[in-house]
Structure 1
Amino acid sequence: MENDARDPLLLSEQLCFSLYSASHAMTRAYRPRLDALGLTYPQYLVMLVLWEGDGLPVRALGERLGLDSATLTPLLKRLEAQGIVTRRRDTADERVVRIDLTEEGRTMREKARRIPLEIGHATGMDLPDIVELRSTLKRLAAALEQSSAGKG
Structure 2
Amino acid sequence: MSGEDEDLRPFHQSLPMQLMTAREEVMLRFRPHLHAHGLTDQQWRIIRALMEVESCEILDLSDVCGIHPASLSRILPKLDAAGIINRRPNKADQRRVIVTIAPKGRALFNQIAPESERLYRSITSDIGQDLMREAYDVLDRMIHALRSKRTASGDTAAE
- What TM-score do you get using the length of structure 2 for normalisation? 0.77
Give RMSD over aligned pairs: 2.5
Distance 2:99 2:50 in 1: 8
Whichever residue aligns with residue 127 of structure 1, its letter is Q
Distance across 1 between alignment mates of 2:8 and 2:60: 39
Whichever residue aligns with residue 88 of structure 1, its letter is R
What letter is aligned with 1:117?
A: R
Divergent runs of 4+, >6 A: none
> How many angstroms does 1:87 deviate by?
0.9
- Quick check: 31-40 or 121-130, which moved more? 121-130
Residue in 2 that maps onto 1:120: 121
What are the superposed Cα offsets for residues 30-51 of structure 1, whole Å, 9 maximum, x if unpaired?
1111112221111111111110
Specify whether residues 9 and 90 from structure 1 end up closer, same or farther in structure 2 by C-alpha distance, changes over 3 A only: closer
Question: Per-residue CA shift, 1:54-98, capped at 9, x if unaligned?
Answer: 322212212322434212111111211222112111233322211
Bigger mean CA deviation after superposition, 17-26 or 59-68: 59-68
CA distance in 2, matches of 1:151, 1:56: 25
Tell whether the 8 Å contact from 2:42 to 2:67 is kept in structure 1 after alignment.
no
Query: Displacement of 1:136 after TM fit?
Result: 0.6
User: In the alignment, is the contact (CA less than 8 A) between 1:86 and 1:101 conserved in 2?
Assistant: yes
Equivalent runs, 1:63-102 vs 2, <5 Å: 63-102=63-102
The number of equivalent residue pairs is: 147
